[in-house]
Structure 1
Amino acid sequence: MESSVEKIPDRRRWLGLVVISIAVALIIVDSTIVNVAIPSVVDELDITSTQVQWVQESYTLVFASLLLVFGTLADRFGRRRMLLIGVALFALSSVAAALAPSGEFLIASRVIQGLGGAMILPATLSLLNATFVGRERGIAFAVWGSTIGGMAAVGPLLGGWLTTDFSWRWAFGINLPLGILIVIGALLVVRESKADELRRVDAVGALLSVLLFTSLVFGLIEGRSYGWWATDRGAPDFWSLEVSPIPFVFALTALALVAFIAWGVHRQRQGRSTMIAFSLFRIGSFRNGNIAAMIVSLGEFGIILSLPLWLQNVLGYDALQTGLLLLALAGGSFIASGFAGASSGKLPAVWVVRGGILAEIVGLVVIGLVIAVDTPWWQTAIGLLIYGFGVGLATAQLTGVVLADVPVAQSGQASGTQSTSRQVGSALGIAILGTVLFSSLATQLDDTLPEQLTGGTRQQVIDLVVDSAGSAIPALDERSTEAGDAAREAFSSATRASAFTAAGFLTVGLLATLSLGGGRRRDDEAAPQAVGIER
C-alpha cells in the first residue's frame, strides 16, 4: 500500500476531482430536482401534503442517519469502493422511483436512494481530504462545495424541463446514465484510499444514531397531522390514548440522544471505536463549525420546498418556468464559486463563510418581502440571485473551516460527522419549514375564507388545499373564485412565513460562526502525511 499523495499524477488527481464533483452533483441534484416535479407527482399519484414532505424526508432522513456509519465503513473497506457501491445503488433505486405506481412505492424508493447517497457523500469528502494537501486542498474543497451550491439550483431547472417536456418520472430516470458515467470515471481516474488504522464499526452507536434522527424528523413532520399534544386530527390505528403519540416520539429522541452520547464516551474511554470521534470536539474549529453547519443547512435548503409549490400553485408557472426562475439561484452560486476559488488562500475562509451567510439572509428577506399573489418574476429572481451567491460562498468554504485542524488519519470520521451535521440540518429544515408552511397555510386560510363558508364545509376546503400542498387551488377556483383567491393569499402568506423563518435560522447560524477561527489546517504547512493511497 502506497502512502504518499505526491505519487499521484497531478492530471489524474484533478480528473478525479471532476468525477467526485459529478458524484456529489448526482445526489444534490436529486435532492432538489424533485421539488418542481412534486405538483405533477401529486396530480398523478394523488399523494397528500404529508406524503409530499415524506417524498423529500425519506431520502434526507436515511441520508443523515447513515452518513456516520458509511463514513466509518469507507475508511475501513475503501473510499472509492464505497463510492462505487453507493452510485450503483442510487442509480438502481432511481429507476425504481421513476417507475413508482403509488406514493408509498415512491417513498420506499427514496429510502433506498438515501442509502446510496449516504455511501457517496462521506466517501467523496474523504477522497478529497486524502488526495489533496495545502492550497490545493482548499481549491478542491471549494470546487466540491460550489458543486453543492450550484447543483442545488440547477436541479429545479433540469426537473422543470424534464417534467414539462416529458414526465416527472424522468426527473429520477436521468440518474441512471449519470450513474454509469460516474462509475466508469471513478474506475479510471480515482485511486482507492483507506485509513491506516482499521476500526471496528460501532453497531450499537449506529443503531442509536438512526433511532435518534428518525424519531426527531418523524415527530416534526407528523406533529401537525397527529397533534402536538392532543390527538387533534386523529391518530394511527394502533394508538388509543387521548394524548398524541408525538410527545412520546420526542421523548424517544431525547433518550436516544443521551444514550448515543453516553455510549460513545464509554467506548472512547475504553479505547474502542465510536460513531463520532468525540475527541475531535475538543478542536474548536471542528466543534463550532459543525454547530454552524447544521444551523446554516437548516435555513438553506428548507425554503426550496415551499418556493416551487408557491410559484406553480399560486402564480401559475409550469415546472419549466419554475426551473428557469430558480436558475437565478444557480447563477448566484456559480458567481460565488469563482469568487471563492479566487479568494482561496487570500481571505480567511471563515470571513468568506460569514459573508455568504449574510448574503443568504438578505436574499431570503428580499424574497419574503416581495411574495404576493401577483409578484413579478424579476423581483423573486433578485432575491434568489443574492441568496444563491450566499449559498455558493458559505457552502464552498464551510467544509474547509470545519476540517481545518482535523488530522488526516481521522478525515473519514470527521467528514462523515460534518456531512451528518449538514444533512441533519437539511432534514430539520425541510421538516420545520414544511411544518411552518402547511400550518401557516391552514391558519391563514381559515382567516381569509369567505364567512359564508362555515362548519364542515370550511374545514373541508382547508383540508383540501393543505393536503394537496396547494395543487387543488385551480380546481377550487372553478367552484368559488372568492375561495380560490383566499387560498392563493393564504399560500403566499405561508410561503412568506417560511422564508422569514429560514432567514431567522440563518441569522443564528451567522452568530454561531463568530466563534470560528481562520480555517487553516495545521498540516497544510507541513509535509504530506500518510493517507493510505493504494495503487
Structure 2
Amino acid sequence: MRKWLPLTAVSLGAFMLLVDVTIVTVALPDMAKGLRTGFTDLQWVLDIYALALAALLLGAGSLADRFGRRKLYLGGLVLFAAASLACGLAQNGAELIIFRGLQGIGGAAMFATTMALLNTSYQGRDRGVAFGVWGAVNGAAAAAGPIVGGLLTEHLGWRWIFFINLPISVVAVAVTLRAVQESRDPQARGLDLPGLVTFTVAAGALTYALIRGAGEGWTSASTLGLFALSLVALIGFVVVELRGSHPMFDLGLLRNPGFTGVLAGGMLLSVAAFSYLVYTSLWLQSVRGLGPVAAGLGLVPMSALAFVVAAIVGRRLHAAPPRLTIGGGLVLIAVGALLQAMIGPGSSWPVLVPGLAVAGAGVGLATPAMAAAAMSAVPQRRSGMAGGALNTARQLGNALGIAVLGAVFQAGLEDRLHGGVLPDAKQAADALTAGQAGAVIGHAPVAERAAVADLVHEAFAVGLRDAFLVSGGLGLLGAALVFALVGRGSAGGGRVAAAAAEPAAAVPAGH
C-alpha cells in the first residue's frame, strides 16, 4: 500500500545503518589479513563509526528541524552509499578507517531523522504500527549484523559487507523521493552553531575516552584528558543552550521526568542488550571454532524475537502505558543476560539460546514504545530534536557498554589466567581479546597444550559470565529508572501514539 512507502524508506535506511554498527564484528580477522594490518588497529573500524554516530546525532536532528528532515535524510543516504563504496575499495587500514568515519557521518544524518519522518508521516493507530515496525527493524538490525556479515564474508569476501549497501541505498533514495514529504520546524530561526560545536566535542571526546580507556587504562593521561575535555565542552553546551535565543536542544525537557526516563532507558537498553554481542561473537569463533556464518546464526534468537515482538507491540499494544512496555522490556533484557551467565568452560552456542531469545523479546517490547514516548514529549515541530536526543543516548550507551563490558570481560580473563600455566596472564588476555585463542594454545609447549586449552576455555567463560552479570544488573537499573520516572501521563505513559499526534503535546509526566 502506498501509505506505507514512507515507512519502507525509513526502515531501509535505519536497518542498513544499524546493521553496519555490528556487521564488521565477524569480518575483522579477514580484513586484517586482506589489508595486511593488525587486528587491534582495525578495531577502529568499529569504533570510528560509533564515534561519529554518538557525536553527531543530536546536531543532525537540530539541522533537520531547521533545513528539512527529508533533505537531510537523503543527504545522509547519498553520503552513506558513497562512503560504503569507498570502504569496499579501500587498499589499507587507514583508508578503511577514514571512509568508515564518513559512513558514520552519513548514518548520523539518517538516524537523526528517521523518528521525525515517521512522526510527521503517520497519525493515530497508523503511527503506532509505524513505530512498531521501526522498533522491530531497530531490534533485529543490531543482532542481524553479525549474521549478514558472516554470510557475506564467508561466501563473497569482507568487501561485500560494504558493497551490499549500494543497491539498498538506491532503493531507499528512490522510495524517499517518491513517497516522503518534506517537514521542518517552521519556527526555527538560525543555526545554533555554538551548541552544535560544544555538544559534538563533548559527545565525541566522551566516546573517544571510553574507547581509549578500555585499551590504554582509565587513569592514563590521554584518557583523563579526554574526559576533562568532554566535561568542559558539556558545561559550555549547557551555558550556550541556556543563554542562546535559538537553542538546538531545549534543556527544559529534562525537567520532564518522563522524557528523562526514556533517555535513561534508551541508554541502558543499548548497554544491557547489545554491548556484549562483540564478545559473544569472539567466543563463538575464537574459542568454539565456529565460522562467521555459524557464529552469526547463533545470534538469530535475539534478532528473530526482537522483530516479531516489536511488530506485535506496534499493532496490538500501541496504546499501552510506555512505563510498562519499556520497563517490562528492560526487565526481560536483564533476565536474558542473566540466563546467558549460565555459561561454563564446556558450553557452546546452545547455552546462549534461551537468554538471547528472552533479551530479544525485551528489545522488541521496549523499542517501539520508547520511540513513541520520546516523540510525545515534545511538540511535533521539534521531533527531530527529540529523535536525535534519544538516538544519541542509545549510541552513547552502546559506546559506554562496549567499554565497560570490555573492561569487565578482560578483568575476568586475567583473573582466571593468573596462577595458571601461562607465564604472562596480561599478555595472554590481550591476545585472547584480539581473537587469538588458537595462537595462544598453539604456541604452548606440546606437553602443556591440553592444559592451556582448558585454561583458555575456562577464562573465556569467566569473562563472559561477568559481562553478562553486569549487563543484567544494568538492565534492572534501567527498568527501575523507567518505572520511577516515566509516569502515567501522555509524556511518559498512557496513549502515547495518540499523544504524539498532537502538534504541541508537551504534557508533564504524571499528568
TM-score in terms of structure 1 length: 0.87
1:134 aligns with 2:104: no
1:141-195 CA distances to partner (integer Å, 9 max, x unpaired)?
A: 1111111001222222211111111212211211111111111111111122222
**Alignment partner for residue 327 of structure 2, among 354, 374, 388?**
354
Shift of 1:297: 1.8
**Alignment partner for residue 494 of structure 1, among 463, 466, 488?**
463
Tell me if the contact between 1:217 and 1:427 (Cα under 8 Å) persists in the aligned partners: yes
Tell me if the contact between 2:57 and 2:108 (Cα under 8 Å) persists in the aligned partners: yes
CA 463–375 in structure 1, closer or farther in 2 if over 3 Å, else same: closer
Matched AA of 2:389: T
Report the counterpart of residue 277 of structure 2 in structure 1: 304
Matched AA of 1:506: G
Shift of 1:501: 1.6
1:288-343 CA distances to partner (integer Å, 9 max, x unpaired)?
A: 21122122222222112111111100111100001111111112112312431343
1:382 aligns with 2:379: no
CA distance in 2, matches of 1:104, 1:300: 31
User: What aligned pairs does 1:268-283 form with structure 2 within 5 A after superposition?
Assistant: 272-283=245-256
SS in 2 for 1:116: helix
User: What aligned pairs does 1:321-400 form with structure 2 within 5 A after superposition?
Assistant: 321-369=294-342, 371-400=343-372
Tell me if the contact between 2:345 and 2:457 (Cα under 8 Å) persists in the aligned partners: yes
SS in 2 for 1:359: helix
CA distance in 1, matches of 2:94, 2:45: 9
Shift of 1:246: 2.1
User: What aligned pairs does 1:211-290 form with structure 2 within 5 A after superposition?
Assistant: 211-229=201-219, 244-267=221-244, 272-290=245-263
CA 260–342 in structure 1, closer or farther in 2 if over 3 Å, else same: same
CA 13–316 in structure 1, closer or farther in 2 if over 3 Å, else same: same
Report the counterpart of residue 516 of structure 1 in structure 2: 486
CA distance in 1, matches of 2:120, 2:276: 34
CA 525–378 in structure 1, closer or farther in 2 if over 3 Å, else same: closer
Tell me if the contact between 2:51 and 2:208 (Cα under 8 Å) persists in the aligned partners: no
1:470-528 CA distances to partner (integer Å, 9 max, x unpaired)?
A: 2x221233222233432332223222222222212111111110120243468936986
CA distance in 2, matches of 1:447, 1:364: 29
CA distance in 2, matches of 1:431, 1:378: 26
CA distance in 1, matches of 2:497, 2:130: 16
CA distance in 1, matches of 2:35, 2:417: 25
Matched AA of 1:137: R
Tell me if the contact between 2:134 and 2:368 (Cα under 8 Å) persists in the aligned partners: yes
Report the counterpart of residue 437 of structure 2 in structure 1: 473
Structure 2 residue runs of 5 or longer lacking an equivalent are 506-511
Structure 1 residue runs of 5 or longer lacking an equivalent are 1-10, 231-243
SS in 2 for 1:517: coil
Shift of 1:434: 2.5
Higher relative contact order (CA 8 A, sep 6+): 1
Tell me if the contact between 2:301 and 2:360 (Cα under 8 Å) persists in the aligned partners: yes
1:76 aligns with 2:66: yes
CA 510–459 in structure 1, closer or farther in 2 if over 3 Å, else same: closer
Shift of 1:116: 0.4
Q: Give the total of aligned pairs.
A: 495
CA distance in 2, matches of 1:210, 1:447: 45
SS in 1 for 2:23: helix
Shift of 1:213: 1.7
CA 279–346 in structure 1, closer or farther in 2 if over 3 Å, else same: closer
Shift of 1:85: 0.9
1:361-385 CA distances to partner (integer Å, 9 max, x unpaired)?
A: 111111111x234314322112111
Tell me if the contact between 1:314 and 1:492 (Cα under 8 Å) persists in the aligned partners: no
TM-score in terms of structure 2 length: 0.90
Give aligned-pair identity as a percent: 35
Matched AA of 1:426: N
Tell me if the contact between 1:141 and 1:399 (Cα under 8 Å) persists in the aligned partners: yes
1:252-284 CA distances to partner (integer Å, 9 max, x unpaired)?
A: 2222222211221121xxxx1223111222333
CA distance in 2, matches of 1:368, 1:486: 18
User: What aligned pairs does 1:189-200 form with structure 2 within 5 A after superposition?
Assistant: 189-200=179-190
1:422-463 CA distances to partner (integer Å, 9 max, x unpaired)?
A: 111122112222233234334433343x0xx54xx6655444
CA distance in 1, matches of 2:468, 2:501: 46
Matched AA of 2:466: A
Report the counterpart of residue 509 of structure 2 in structure 1: none
CA 224–78 in structure 1, closer or farther in 2 if over 3 Å, else same: closer
Matched AA of 2:305: G
Tell me if the contact between 2:185 and 2:381 (Cα under 8 Å) persists in the aligned partners: yes
Tell me if the contact between 1:220 and 1:435 (Cα under 8 Å) persists in the aligned partners: no
CA distance in 2, matches of 1:194, 1:175: 28
User: What aligned pairs does 1:384-423 form with structure 2 within 5 A after superposition?
Assistant: 384-423=356-395
Tell me if the contact between 1:446 and 1:462 (Cα under 8 Å) persists in the aligned partners: no
CA distance in 1, matches of 2:257, 2:430: 48
